[in-house]
Structure 1
Amino acid sequence: MRIRHNDYGQPPAPARQELTVTVVIPAHGCQDTLDLTLAALSAQTYPAGLMDVVVVDDGSPVPLTAPKIIRAPEGGWGRAWAVQAGVEAATGDVVLVLDADMVPVPEHVAMHMRWHHLADYLVVLGWIDFTSSRPPSPEDLLRKPYEEFFDLAGQRHDWAEAIIEAHDGLRTAPNSLAGHVHVGATASYRRAFLLEAGGLDTSLVLAEDTELGYRLTQAGAVFVPDPEARAWHLGLPTAMRDYPAMKRHNDPYVADRVPYRRYLRTDRGRQWLVPYVDAVVVAEGYEDTRAAVDALLASDLPDLRVTVVGAWDTLAAGRRSPLNEPLLDLRLLYAAFEHDSRVRLATVFEPSAPFVLRCPPGWTAGHGTVSGLVQHLEARDGGLLNLALEENEHGVTTVRLERTAAFARARRVGSPDEALDDVVHELFGVEWLDGRQYGFARRPATYPRRVPQPEPVDKEVLRLRKRIAALQAETQQLRREAAKGARDAERWKGKAEAWRREAVKRDRTVLRRAVRKIGLTSFVRRPGATS
């Protein structure tokens, strides 16, 4: 099944029930709520023969008990470690991660699973209702509808639900936004797809679901929030109880790993673990390649990394002719960029950023070229921008800006006989632009250029230049003050005239009142009267 952007359509009906699912429950010291979660899972409508449950004890002070339980690996702790251990131990086609304080409704697993029968790159998100009600016993829980035990709390995942509602259940959400709502308390994935995306980042203690949502996006995922896959959350999570402390802790970790969170990367001098744009230049001539790389590094986009692809493993040590060896250009490039932390020298390029810019040697990007192209692609939620530079007998020289997620999904759903760009066009769209209009130009004829040195200047000439500059600045200031004085004079002149007219009007009024008061109106000549 091919899904364009994140438009997954309507829920499938009737739902197929063929895939197996392993429910993974990470738990730490919460036997009471875990028992309720397990009881609710025992009452699911999805066939029991297709479902199993694995509880991962994350180092509880008092070991937890469950029908099938494993321990987190030695040396690791935290939710990410526990979930990853459960994913690796899972045997189902699908992994549904459920926290140990969640009580899923009987249709919960079935609602998740109906989507996974459509495509293997869907990420299904359950719908969470929070409750502060006193929970029943596991035995009582199964005797009545859950609504009779649980009252809705006032708090909700308002931010996530607002995004979902504003984008038609995420169907119209842009690629860079859909994964923001990935919350791990109830989420399901094809196990193979989750492992291909890298699984959980076990170096994270918190924000592991935020980071995973980003990597799933880059792997080509479609995110499906399903309000019918409901589950009750017993009590409020830490993020709701103390949001400022949670945000303070998570922001530096998220900023380093999730380049979509642009508001966290406002420090222009910083470098980050995951770049926003991976620029790629194939190593050819020394001057041409260096010109392209240097221009990209001078971009106004701070979190850009350049990969120079070349046969670096052929640069053998030993005696050689320094000025005439066959690999001289490659060796000079290696020397130029070996110690630049923003440049990678690789024999094969592997993308790690949301966007990949492929630039030919000999062409230089302007200062704002890369950021402008990314903004253009993001505004259209496109998959590929082709920028034509020139046409000759060998064809068209182009720059390409690729969306990593679009190409990952195209590789997953495309057939071997299809051109990858055609599949990307079907899923996200492809656009052609004029590269020169976006600031690309041929490298200077002489590169690198020698910086001209200033000629010696006589001290007296330097003193006079400074004096002239000071007099020019003083003249400009006097002109500004004179102009301001003229404007002020004109304004006061207008005010004086207005005051004069008001005074005349007031005097006439006073005179009339005085005449009426002393009874002298008969002495006032009326128009047309005779003496």
Structure 2
Amino acid sequence: MTRVRHNDYGVLRPPAVGAWEPALRVSVVIPAYNSAEALERTVPALARQTYPAELMEVVVADDGSEPPLDVPGARVVRVSGGWGRGAARQAGQLAATGDVIHWLDSDMLLADDHIEAHMRWHHLIDYAVVIGDTRFVEKAGEEGVQSEYTRKTLESSRRLKDAGASAYLLHTGASTSVRADLLRAAGGVDTSLNMAEDTELGYRLAQAGAVFIPDAEARAWHVGPSTVMLREKEVHRHNWSYLGDFIPVLRWLRNHPRRHWRVPYVQVVVAATTYEETRATVDSALAGTLTDAAVTIVGPWDKLTGERRSNLDDPFLELRLLDNLYAHEPRVSFAESVPVSAAPAPFLLSVPTGWVLGADTLARLVRHADRDLLGLVSVALSEGASGVVAARLERTAAFGRASLLDGAADDLVDEMFGSEWVSGGEYGFATAEEAEPLAGDPAKWRALAGERQKEVKKLRAEVERLAAEVERLSAEPPADDRAGRGGLSSLIRQLRSAG
């Protein structure tokens, strides 16, 4: 299978529409609510598709319509256990039987070869997410226009080939398709979201290794403007209230300096050894300037049973002390084995226990990885008879894609994303014995900075008052006092400069 570097799908050579032999089954999934009239246009267009009818099914997920939808040419499943677009999409894809899930809005009109244009990419690679060329029209038969956001994004990124880690932002539910197994590996659709569920799903598909491909030949028309077009500010206000929790790479939504977030930006993994050295590593990871990090401590936690024991002679005392210490810390979790993936967190840092991170170690490592979209940054900490002791920062999307291909993961990641070695000392790593004790109170320093800002504001006001007074006194100087006037002007300039 062809290996795509970052999101540059230009290495792929899809067959021309009409000049290839399809084999994969596709399920067109349409979430719908009280949209019988729109479906009367959309579903018949699917019956005219050039893709073989025996390889297609249409599933309409009825999200509580009254009366219930009855759609000739489609299998209707009723959404239960929730409501909204997330619940409807998930219900539809769970009922689908195809190799590929093709999302479609209920108010779409498709060119006759639309499905075929999508499906030729899925016959090339298993990790494509294909995005149709959707135009917005007032009525059928018009040429229509792309949304301004889509147009600008495509133009600025060589049609997403240069979009890198942000390609997922163009993922919408209007007309996109994805392999069913990749969708399910990414966790399916979040049923709790009834807006922006397509953006959040696109982010998780990216972490699973997806390549996002906008196909200009997959033509489609959306009848009527989108909700974003009609109420953009309100849509953003609504969606941004929770997307920061779900998508950690939207850094501008995480401007609070210390709060806890649902999905961490970096998942740090540490093996449980002694209480002291494990605590040194874990605490340093939690105390850095990159505050939305979380830590997983790996150990045989199932050994901590509740029967009577000697508190001080417990054979699992080290584990029990660590469990005591972090039982109520929401950023620390306990695992029996090393996680296969940090998903949906975009980065995983594995740190040898007993090594301590500096205050900005995590932030600097991530910046280094993002500079060239590296998939792996290995950090040399020490070297001895047994080899090099190293920490590893892994990009989740890179290792997610490598897991879909045959070969050694590190080699595949290097080929598709790149990898580098750096020095631990350069990035602030130290042993627990050598490290400076964790100190400082960020809240205290922020409060002190606030007080200083108040003082500066008062002093500036006083400078302005004095400058105004000097201006008044110098408004009508004696005719023979030119030197004095010059001195006053100089004083005014000095005062304002000081302010």
TM-score with structure 1 setting the length: 0.79
Query: Partner letter of residue 161 of structure 2?
Result: R
In 1, Cα distance between equivalents of 2:85 and 2:283: 43
Corresponding residue for 1:429?
Answer: 418
Q: Deviations over 1:503-531 (max 9, x none)?
A: xxxxxxxxxxxxxxxxxxxxxxxxxxxxx
Of stretches 111-120 and 419-428 in structure 1, the one that deviates more from structure 2 is: 419-428
Tell me the distance in 2 between the aligned counterparts of 1:359 and 1:203: 34
Match in the other structure for 2:396: 404
Q: Following superposition of structure 1 onto structure 2, how do residues 350-361 of structure 1 map, counting pairs within 5 Å?
A: 350=339, 351-352=342-343, 353-361=345-353
Q: Following TM superposition, where does structure 1 have runs of at least 4 consecutive aligned residues deviating by more than 4 angstroms?
A: 445-451, 492-497
Please give the per-residue CA displacement for 1:181-223, whole angstroms capped at 9, x wherever unaligned: 1011100011121111111100111110011001101111111
* Secondary structure, counterpart of 2:404 in structure 1: helix
Identity percentage of aligned residues: 48
Q: Which structure's CA Rg is the greater one?
A: 1
How far apart, in 2, do the equivalents of 1:297 and 1:276 lie? 12
Letter of the 1:358 partner, please give it. Answer: S
In structure 1, the residue matched to 2:369 is: 377
1:113 to 102, 105, 119: 119
**Structure 1 residues 212 and 494, CA, compared in 2 at 3 Å: closer, same or farther?**
farther
- Give yes or no for the alignment of 1:208 onto 2:223: no
- Report what 1:5 is aligned to: 6
Q: Residues 332, 75 of structure 1: CA spacing in aligned structure 2 closer, same or farther, 3 A cutoff?
A: closer
1:171 offset after TM fit, Å? Answer: 1.4
* AA aligned opposite 2:93: V
2:490 corresponds to: none
Q: Which runs of 5+ in 2 are unaligned?
A: 441-481, 488-499
Contact 1:16/1:114 (8 A) holds in 2 = no
What is the distance in 1 between the residues matched to 2:311 and 2:9? 60
Partner residue of 2:151 out of 148, 156, 161:
161
Residues of 2 paired with 1:449 and 1:178: CA distance?
A: 39
Aligned partners of 1:71 and 1:17: how far apart in 2? 27
**In 1, Cα distance between equivalents of 2:127 and 2:204:** 12
Cα offset for 1:267?
0.9
| Partners of 2:356 and 2:435 within 8 A in 1 | no
Q: CA RMSD, aligned part only?
A: 2.4
Deviation at 1:108, TM superposition (A): 0.5
Counterpart check, 1:341 vs 2:330: yes
Equivalent residues of 1:307, 1:345 under 8 A apart: yes
Aligned pair in 2 of structure 1 residues 244, 447: CA closer, same or farther (>3 Å)?
closer
**Helix, strand or coil: the match of 2:212?**
strand
- CA deviations 1:205-262 (Å, max 9, x no partner) are 1110011001101111111011110100000111111011111111122111011111
Cα distance in 2, alignment partners of residues 496 and 319 from structure 1: 89
2:257 aligned residue: 268
Match of 2:304 among 310, 315, 318: 315
**Residue 70 of structure 2 corresponds to which residue in structure 1?**
65
Counterpart of 2:355, as a letter, is W
Q: Distance in 2 between matches of 1:330 and 1:445?
A: 24
Letter in 1 for 2:99: D
In structure 1, the partner of 2:29 is: 24
* Alpha carbons 1:57, 1:69 under 8 Å: kept: no
Q: Using the alignment, how far apart are the partners of 2:46 and 2:76 within structure 1?
A: 18
Q: CA deviation at 1:495?
A: 9.2
Task: Report matched runs for 1:461-480 at 5 Å.
Answer: none
- Which residue is 2:132 aligned to? 126
1:170 counterpart = 2:160: yes
TM-score normalised to structure 2 length: 0.84
Separation of aligned partners in 1, 2:48 and 2:111: 8
> How does 1:261-300 map onto structure 2 within 5 Å?
261-300=250-289
**Unaligned ranges ≥5, structure 1:** 136-148, 452-491, 498-531
Q: Give the C-alpha shift of residue 440 in structure 1.
A: 0.5
Match of 2:379 in 1: 387
The residue that corresponds to 1:37 in the other structure is 42
- Supply the distance in 2 between the matched residues of 1:265 and 1:238 (Cα, whole angstroms): 25
Residue 420 of structure 1 corresponds to 409
* Aligned mates of 1:494, 1:262 — CA distance in 2: 56
Partner of 1:55: 60
Give 1:493 deviation, angstroms: 7.0
Q: How many residues align?
A: 440
Alignment of 1:186-201 (within 5 A): 186-201=175-190
Instruction: Specify whether residues 106 and 345 from structure 1 end up closer, same or farther in structure 2 by C-alpha distance, changes over 3 A only.
Output: same
Matches within 5 A, 1:70-85: 70-85=76-91
**Displacement of 1:269:** 2.3
Classify the secondary structure of the residue corresponding to 1:278.
Answer: strand
1:5-28 superposed Cα distances (whole Å, 9 cap, x missing partner)? 112125412444111111111111
Question: Once structures 1 and 2 are overlaid, which stretch shifts more, 69-78 or 287-296?
Answer: 69-78
The offset of 1:158, in angstroms, is: 1.8
Deviation track 1:122-149 (CA, whole Å, cap 9, x = no partner) reads 100001100113x4xxxxxxxxxxxxx2
Report how far residue 449 of structure 1 moved.
9.5
CA distance, structure 2, for counterparts of residue 184 and residue 227 of structure 1: 17
